[in-house]
Amino acid sequence: MSEPDSRPGCAVSAALPLPACTAVVGCGRIGSALLRAALRQGLEVLAGVREHRRRRPGVPPEVVQLAPGKAAAAAELVVLAVPPGEPLRQLAEQLEPVLAGKVVLELSNPVMPRGDMPAPRGPWGPSEAELLARRLPRTRVAKALNTVSAKALGRLGSVPSAEWRRPSVPVAVDDPSAQRLVCAWVEALGFEAVPAGPLTHARWLEHLAQLLCHIDAQSGRTGLVGCRILRP
């Protein structure tokens, strides 16, 4: 097996194979924004919702809404868009049997800063994505998209700034084939996917999201602050 491409800023090939179907489990703010963005791009998506018989506001009518286990079982890529900590732990436990062999994208931010919050101090403990990977040893876990907001997903391609149109999304994951799959999906949504090394780097991504949130708070809470990784 070849090593994941973790060279900082290494461009992702445009011809990466897309997942045949992606399930978004947890359809709150970010989950439903992802469903809408995927639908706009013509991507195959399913919604995984606890109370799946009641159509959840925010889930587009065109998207099939299933119980989390059914949606995850039918997908090649499974995005867990639920709060970190206990909800994520419970969901992982519930879905473990159907997630074996699949790629799971984890996007939570365990701590979001208040305006006056001090910068975190090292050493940093494991990220939510690493904790999830320990609970799902038969699953390839990736961290990405925690650095973009639901609002930003809704505005993709419509903000009148050439730079903003394609924000960078760092992707941290150990497995090379999972990296290709997640990068392909992130690119298809309209972002620039940037391979960001192994899953342990998810710690940095969680801190990057905090920094972006802090900058956003200083900029009047637009919800549109993102990052763009430049390379020569």
Ligand X SMILES: NC(=O)c1ccc[n+]([C@@H]2O[C@H](COP(=O)([O-])OP(=O)(O)OC[C@H]3O[C@@H](n4cnc5c(N)ncnc54)[C@H](OP(=O)(O)O)[C@@H]3O)[C@@H](O)[C@H]2O)c1
Q: Rule CB under 6 A: choose which of 31, 170, 195, 226 binds ligand X.
A: 31
Contact by Cβ (8 Å): 166, 227 = no
Give the pair of three-digit tokens for residue 177: 């084939």
The full length of the chain comes to: 232
Give the pair of three-digit tokens for residue 161: 């700034």
Q: Which stretch binds ligand X (CB under 6 A): 1-9, 104-112, 173-181, 192-200?
A: 104-112
- Is residue 29 within the footprint of ligand X (CB under 6 A)? yes
Across the beta sheet with 45-48, what order do the strands follow? 64-66, 45-48, 22-25, 77-80, 103-106, 140-143, 168-173, 192-195
- Is residue 150 within the footprint of ligand X (CB under 6 A)? yes
> Of 17 and 97, which CB lies nearer to ligand X in the complex structure?
97
- Is residue 81 within the footprint of ligand X (CB under 6 A)? yes
Query: Cα-flanking dihedrals φ and ψ of residue 183, to 5°?
Result: -60, -40
- Is residue 170 within the footprint of ligand X (CB under 6 A)? no
Q: Rule CB under 6 A: choose which of 38, 45, 52, 68 binds ligand X.
A: 68
- Is residue 82 within the footprint of ligand X (CB under 6 A)? yes
- How many C-beta atoms lie closer than 10 Å to residue 230's C-beta? 7
Contacts to ligand X by CB under 6 A: 25-31, 50-51, 68, 81-84, 87, 90-91, 107-109, 146, 149-150
